[in-house]
Every structure is written in C-alpha cells, then in structure tokens.
Amino acid sequence: MSDTAPVFEVFGEPSSDRKQRVQQLRELGFGWADLEEEAYWIDQAAGMRRDVYDDLMTASAGLWRIFDKAARYVIRRHDLYQLIGIPELLWDLLDELPVNEEEGMISRYARFDFAVSDSGDIKLLELNADTPTGYAEASAATPWLCRQLGLDSPNERMAELVAAAWAVEQPEAAACVAYGSHVEDSGTIELLAKHSGLDVRCVDCLDLWVDEGVLRDAEGRAIERLFALYPKEWMAVDEGGDALAYAIETGKLQLFNHPHAIILQSKGLMAVIWGMYELGLLFTASERDMIARYMLPTYNKAVFGGSFVSKSMFGREGGSVQLFGADGRLELRDEDGYDTSILFPLVYQKRAELARVATAAGDLHLLTGVFVINGEPCGLLGRAGGLITGNTSHFIAIGVRE
C-alpha cells in the first residue's frame, strides 16, 4: 500500500437496527455500547494502513522494554519515587516486595495510548500499566466488527494472553469499585475472569476489609490473591488504604497488577526516561533512537517554548489535562474527568497531533491504544472525540487494512 494513502480510513455504515447490534455486543461481553441513552460505540471501524500498524507494533514492543528498564532503575530510589509522585505510604512496600525478574512482566495487563497523526507519525502520550479499561471493547467488540468489515484484527489473541497471564498469577478474586452497578468496570473484570478460564469470583472493593492483615470479602472469606481494577495511588487517599498496603507488605495479600506497576503507571516516569535520554544515561544507542522517534519531550516543569500539555501524574480518562498553545496560554482543559492534580504533581509534555476521522458521530480526533498483555503488544483500542480524549469520547474499533 502506498504511503500516500490515508493512515486511517473509516469502514462501514451504522446499522438501522442499532438495538439488535447493541444486544449482540452485550452477549459478547461488551454491555455498555450505549451509556445513559448516549451512543458510546460508533457502529463503524477505522482501518489503519498496514505499514503504520507495523511501525506502531515496533514502537510498542521497544517502548515496553524501555519502560520496564526505567521502572527497575527507579525501584528503591526514594528521590525518584518523590519525583514521579509515588505516595510516601507506598515507598516501604515498593522497596521490600520482590521484583519480578522476568523482563517485561512487572505489569501483565497494560495499555499504551498513542497519537498517530494523519501523516503516520507515532508519538506516545502515556502508559496505563495498572488499571486499563477498554478491554471488552478491544477483545470482544473489535474483532467482531473487523470480521464483518473485512479488516484484520490483532486483537484476536487478547483472551489467549489474559489466560496465560492469569495462569501465572492465579487470582482467586477480581474486584472493582461499585461492582454490579458500575457497568464498565464490572463488565471489564467479568470478561477478564471469563477469558482467564479460572474459577474467579468478582467482588466489590467497597465490601472488602482487612482483619489483622488479612483481606476479607463481604462474607468474611479470606482473599490471598486479588486482581483489582483499583488505582494503587488511592491507597494513600482512601480510608483503609493503609491497611490494604499493610496486607500487601506483610505478604498476606498478593495484588495484581503487581504494586511495582504503579511506577510504570506514573506519567512522571516518562519525564525520567526523557531526562535519562537527554543526559545520555541508562539507555543503549538503539533505545535512545527509539525514545527520540516515538516519545515526546516530557518534564516536571513547563519549560516549553511552543505548545504543550499538562496533566496529573496519576490522571485518568482525560482528567486534569490542559492544552496550551504556542504562546503558552491555556487553550483547553478537561471539564469531565476527575482532576487529580489536587492530589498528585503535574507533568508537562510537548503536544502531538491526533489523526482526524470522519465518522457517523462527526469529524473526530482518534486516539490509538495498544494493549500489552503478558508482555506482548496484542490489541488496538480506538477512542474518538475532541482534542482531549476523556469520558465523553466514543469507542470505535480499529483494524488493519491491506
């Protein structure tokens, strides 16, 4: 395919019977295609040019190794814990827990978010290596759409890789906040549990409690191995967070993703990586080339002469994001997500351009997610919306076209 062809091309037209298709998706495990009578899912797919997809997979695999190397460097360095916003409550826990010696396995369930421009330029925006959502959209809905529209989907292997990851971790329970009522998080842990092939019970984080270092569910049953869609930084904020940290620190609870995943999760780690790159430290020549090509200048201070972005080191779903123009003035801020910058420090990053796609929901900016499960880049997630991809954005499947 010629590199003059569009990077993304939208395939398909929305069905006249959306209700039936929404029900089909629900049966596959994606039960929030419509949220509060709003259409979250766009009944189309974005076909990515094959050569750009290949480049994206190269970027994902290489950056995963770079982030793993940087995270291992940070462990037990309290000055760097502070620099990247790790709550002090967790420092001893991170110091004392054994480090997974297997490269790329500090987190077995993660997602990169990339800006892929209309010209095919690829730049990393952030890594969610602790509690990424979008799993049902990527693993269940995306292959279903791609098969119908004649697109290849690398997402077909996601369930297989979850099963491989959980075969190692062996969680006996999976938890999220407001299980049973928060449809997205509940559906995410249910589908992960299903795809694992294990006998895993799903529970509400709000029903869990710690008894002399032992985590127990609402019925008082002990839990020793838990997958939790619960941001670890909130242990420093939530009531009972210190008790949960104590349960992990004393070895009575094993939590997945592993607590060291919070180091990968912090957007401050991108500033550490960029700083090491500029200083010529830690990374090999090939790793430095990878950083220069696929990462954006990122700092702990706003030192840019041109346009940039500020965001909380532990912001999620667009919360706390602010966009500044070439003159340094604020252009746009996220008004929908929870602003965690009141709790955690900010990081500053050069702005990157998102491709625009003409969809049935309008002309939208496309954010490209890449899941990394059990150490392998394996699945694409499309989110389409405004300049800031937050809670009000749409899900659109991404496949690969020849």
Number of compact structural domains in the chain = 1
Token digits of residue 16: 């006249």
Token digits of residue 375: 């150490």
Cβ atoms of 26 and 19 within 8 Å: the answer is no
- Residue 349 covered by a domain: no
How many Å apart are CA 47 and CA 146, to the nearest integer? 9
How many Å apart are CA 74 and CA 95, to the nearest integer? 10
- Residue 319 covered by a domain: no
State if pTM tops 0.85.
yes
- Residue 224 covered by a domain: yes
How many Å apart are CA 275 and CA 82, to the nearest integer? 15
- Residue 377 covered by a domain: yes
How many Å apart are CA 206 and CA 244, to the nearest integer? 12
User: What is the chain's alpha carbon radius of gyration, rounded to the nearest angstrom?
Assistant: 20
Hey, what's the torsion of the CAs at 374, 233, 296, 122, to 10 degrees?
A: 40
Token digits of residue 60: 């994902």
Token digits of residue 162: 């979850």
- Residue 32 covered by a domain: yes
Nearest to 342 by CA among 360, 319, 326, 364: 319
Token digits of residue 359: 């969809």
Res 388: pLDDT: 81
Q: Give the structural domain span for 81.
A: 8-266+355-401
- Residue 339 covered by a domain: no
- Residue 204 covered by a domain: yes
> Long-range contacts made by residues 164-168, C-beta under 8 angstroms, separation at least 24?
164/374, 165/108, 165/109, 165/373, 165/374, 166/192, 166/196, 166/197, 166/198, 166/200, 166/227, 167/196, 167/197, 167/198, 168/108, 168/374
DSSP, res 224:
S
- Residue 209 covered by a domain: yes
Res 81: pLDDT: 98
Three-state secondary structure call for residue 45: strand
Q: Give the H/E segment covering residue 366.
A: strand 362-373
- CA distances to 33, 188, 192, 280, 381 from 137, rounded to whole Å, are 9, 9, 12, 40, 7
Res 342: pLDDT: 78
Please give the chain's pLDDT, 402 residues, in tens: 567 899 999 999 999 999 999 999 999 999 999 988 889 999 999 999 999 999 999 999 999 999 999 999 999 999 999 999 999 999 999 999 999 999 999 999 999 999 999 999 999 999 999 999 999 999 999 999 999 999 999 999 999 999 999 999 999 999 999 999 999 999 999 999 999 999 999 999 999 999 999 999 999 999 999 999 999 999 999 988 999 999 999 999 999 999 999 999 999 999 999 999 999 999 999 999 999 999 999 999 999 888 999 999 997 665 688 999 888 888 888 766 667 777 889 999 999 999 999 999 999 999 999 999 999 999 999 999 988 876 679 999 999 998
Check residue 159 and give left, alpha or beta (phi > 0: left; psi -120 to 50: alpha): alpha
Nearest to 124 by CA among 391, 370, 387, 373: 370
